[in-house]
Amino acid sequence: MLNHYSLSVVVDLLSLILQCQNGHTLCSTCKTRVQNRCPTCRQELGDIRCLALEKVAESLELPCKYYSHGCPEVFPYYSKLKHESQCNYRPYNCPYAGSECSVVGDIPFLVTHLRDDHKVDMHTGCTFNHRYVKSNPREVENATWMLTVFNCFGQSFCLHFEAFQLGMAPVYMAFLRFMGDENDARNFSYSLEVGANGRKLTWEGTPRSIRDSHRKVRDSHDGLIIQRNMALFFSGCERKELKLRVTGRIWKEQQNSDAAVCMPNLCS
């Protein structure tokens, strides 16, 4: 098994390989480190490539750089780069939307991080009933938001609720993100509902993976969007205070092998 040092050496070899006039070779990465002089004979280095060694280097197979996270794949170098940009074992970014948090890690680590460092509310169960109150709903600023984490079916989900400007119109938006990859997110569905006074708005969809940034999901309008006037109508109180109750549920889509259709598996 290659260690971290040998991996870095091999990766350096896979950049352009140059040679001096006397045939001594080194990689292009090291060229600047030796002030453009051959470390063996001290002759000035030019841009003469050693195509034979480059060909050998290209044929080397290397493990994915996320092998320590569990990825078993081995690739030729240039295929390796493409794989690593999409590897399911690559760490996730923190899904907390209230700041530019730079923490990365696997899902159990991020759940603990959200609870302990960001003080996010944690709930167990596949249904939710949240009330959002704002004393002055006329003040709508971008990134005014709330985040709650739900655990159900052995998975974690992030419920976002926020206010922002959609063009010139102030709106409220609720949406769900899955703490895992996109392929696994497709196994679940969710619904959101808000209403009062005999009226209601309903949204149903598939949670987005946290691989997609919070801003990307929000800007794609992939969730329940409530215009401010409608939100105030639902709130009552002569439209002077925002009091929205958002309810919803998460369910898992089970494949029915006989009928070849997806059957919802509801969580009690």
User: Smallest Cα–Cα separation from 63: which of 142, 127, 1?
Assistant: 1
Bigger pLDDT: 2 vs 177? 177
Q: What is the predicted pLDDT for the residue at 147?
A: 87
- What's the pLDDT at 35? 86
Least confident of 142-146, 178-182, 238-242, 261-265: 261-265
Please answer whether residues 34 and 49 qualify as being in contact, where contact means their C-beta atoms are separated by less than 8 angstroms.
no
Residue predicted with more confidence, 106 or 9: 106
- Note the pTM of the prediction, 2 decimals: 0.72
Distance CA 170, CA 184 (A): 33
The pLDDT value given to residue 97: 81
At residue 197 the predicted structure's pLDDT band, cuts being 50, 70 and 90, is confident
Distance, CA of 82 to CA of 90 (rounded, Å): 13
Q: What is the pLDDT of residues 149-159, one digit of tens each?
A: 999 999 999 99
Both tokens of residue 17?
Answer: 């390989």
